[in-house]
Structure 1
Amino acid sequence: MNAGPDPEVPFRQTGWLGLRARLFHLYFLLRRPMTLGVRGLIYDRASNSVFLIRHTYVPGWQLPGGGVEVGETLVEALARELAEEGNIALAAPPVLKSMHFNRRASNRDHVGLYLIEAFSQTAPKLPDHEIAEADFFPLDRLPEETTPATLRRIAEVFQGGQTSAYW
């Protein structure tokens, strides 16, 4: 698929300036590396429920998601994680609701939270080596073991709570 000429070409630095820019980028990557993750708040309007997962290696019910791999966009990572953790496919672009600093994970981790209302689930998610359980839960009957961060994100989106900068 050819989208035509790249409009960014006139803004690319070449020669010494381009090399210098790439060297600075490498320096900052080594000096201040950052990790990036995504989480999906999958909402089924018909049942007023959200999709949660329980991992085999950490306690509590939480929103599906994971790390953004090199060369991957946030939405690509989200689509991959939803397929892996819930057999869920996006039917429309997700909506970025917020970005959070996840200082509990590390001093360099950030997480993007997306709201997904247009999706399909190809099959119920069966337990595997990573996911112990996965299911939809009504907003008024979330599992008792839902993580505090998950409860905060749900409240921010559905109850108009103030969005925290922290996960």
Structure 2
Amino acid sequence: MRLRIRIFHLYHLLRRPLTVGVRAVVIDAHGAILLVRHTYVGGWHLPGGGVEPGETLEDCLVRELREEGNIVLLGSPVLKSVHLNRSASRRDHVAVYLVADFRQEGKRKPDLEIAEARFFPLDDLPDGTTSGTRRRLAEIFNGQPVSAEW
């Protein structure tokens, strides 16, 4: 699986296309945040992924939330920021949405991509929460300045 992902990234780096992704800050009524742990990369992340050809940012958000957390949007997500993600490539951008109006259709079961998806209190994030995830949460909830970079 990791080799396939590396080959995919190498292919895209060589072609040099602009890539766009989305991440969601899903917050429940108790102030807990949905985080996911992937099988192919370490740490806890905001749910999200890459926008497919012909797909809007919001279409991608809807798809990724369903796939990664069994989350169904009930209201409109709020675009909070857009960041350059140099760790993926010099041409990768990530749009961050705040999602508060949703329902979860059962717990997310582990599979080949997602090892775990859980809600955590904002003041008690798990060890291994990525620095990018922590920065986005601080920007949205603690008034930190929004960085142009992931």
Fold match by TM threshold 0.5: yes
TM-aligned CA deviation for residue 62 of structure 1 = 0.5
User: Which runs of structure 1 show a deviation greater than 6 angstroms over 4 or more consecutive aligned residues?
Assistant: none
| Match of residue 79, structure 2, among 83, 96, 102 | 96
Point out the structure with max Rg over C-alpha: 1
Tell me what 1:36 maps to. 20
Partner SS, residue 96 of structure 2: strand
Number of residue pairs aligned between Structure 1 and Structure 2: 137
Q: Which one of the candidate residues 105, 123, 133 is aligned to 1:122?
A: 105
TM-superposed deviation, 1:83: 0.3
Q: Of the two structures, which has the highest relative contact order with CA contacts closer than 8 Å and spacing of 6 or more?
A: 2
Task: Give the aligned residue type for 2:35.
Answer: L
| Cα offset, 1:33, TM superposition | 2.3
Provide the rounded CA distance (Å) in 1 between the counterparts of 2:117 and 2:16. 35
| Corresponding residue number in structure 2 for 1:147 | 130
> What TM-score do the two structures reach when normalised by structure 2?
0.89
- Deviations 1:84-117 (CA, angstroms, capped at 9, x unpaired): 0000010001000000000011011000000000
Provide the C-alpha distance between the structure 2 equivalents of 1:162 and 1:122, rounded to a whole number of angstroms.
34
Residue in 1 aligned with 2:5? none
Q: Deviations over 1:18-43 (max 9, x none)?
A: xxxxxxxxxxxxx8620000000001
Q: What corresponds to 2:139 in structure 1?
A: 156
Q: Percent identity?
A: 60
* Superimposed CA distance per residue, residues 97-155 of structure 1 (whole angstroms, 9 cap, x where no aligned partner): 00000001101100000000000000100111000011000011100110000000000
